[in-house]
């Protein structure tokens, strides 16, 4: 915990400082949601195809999902999403004038969540 998943458009590969984003996001989650740095885990998934409205070109997408153990207030969750979007803007520079569609959400992990570290 927290489990962070970032989906991003394939054309952003060179325009998205993923490592810098993850380090900054982890620090922000620790500060905002009282998580532990060593507990933050991020994974990035490339999305090959996106369609925005009727457009298949000229757009890029980044979606940040943060899953936390239950107990954070709505205010904390809202602060996390707002600050995550600020970090997206700071770490993603879309090329060729593409419109960047960024989104973020914070969810509670299911009670069945377990982890193992070996």
Structural domains of the chain ordered from first start: 3-108 (3.30.429.10)
Percentage above 70 pLDDT, the chain: 100
User: What's the pLDDT tens digit per position in 63-114?
Assistant: 999 999 999 999 999 999 999 999 999 999 987 889 999 999 999 999 999 9
User: What's the pLDDT tens digit per position in 40-75?
Assistant: 999 999 999 999 999 889 999 999 999 999 999 999
Distance CA 1, CA 116 (A): 11
The per-residue b/e assignment along 14-53, b for 16 or more CB within 10 angstroms, e otherwise, is: ebbeeeebbebbbebbbebbebeeebbebeeeeeeebeee
How far lies 43's CA from each of 85, 95, 105, in Å? 17, 23, 15
Distance CA 33, CA 36 (A): 9
Determine contact, residues 80/66, Cβ cutoff 8 Å.
yes
Ranges of H-type helices in the chain: 18-33, 74-91
In which band, very low, low, confident or very high, does the pLDDT at 118 lie, cut at 50, 70 and 90? Answer: confident
User: What's the pLDDT tens digit per position in 10-31?
Assistant: 999 999 999 999 999 999 999 9
H or E, element range at 61: strand 59-68
């Amino acid at each position: 915990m927290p489990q962070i998943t970032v989906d991003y458009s394939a054309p952003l590969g060179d325009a998205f400082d993923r490592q810098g984003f993850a380090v900054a996001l982890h620090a922000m989650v620790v500060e905002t949601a009282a998580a532990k740095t060593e507990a933050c885990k991020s994974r990035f998934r490339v999305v090959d195809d996106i369609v925005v409205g009727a457009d298949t070109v000229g757009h890029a997408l980044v979606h940040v999902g943060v899953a936390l153990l239950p107990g954070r207030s709505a205010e904390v969750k809202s602060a996390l999403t707002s600050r995550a979007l600020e970090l997206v803007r700071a770490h993603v520079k879309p090329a060729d004038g593409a419109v960047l569609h960024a989104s973020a959400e914070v969810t509670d992990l299911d009670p069945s969540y377990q982890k193992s570290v070996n």
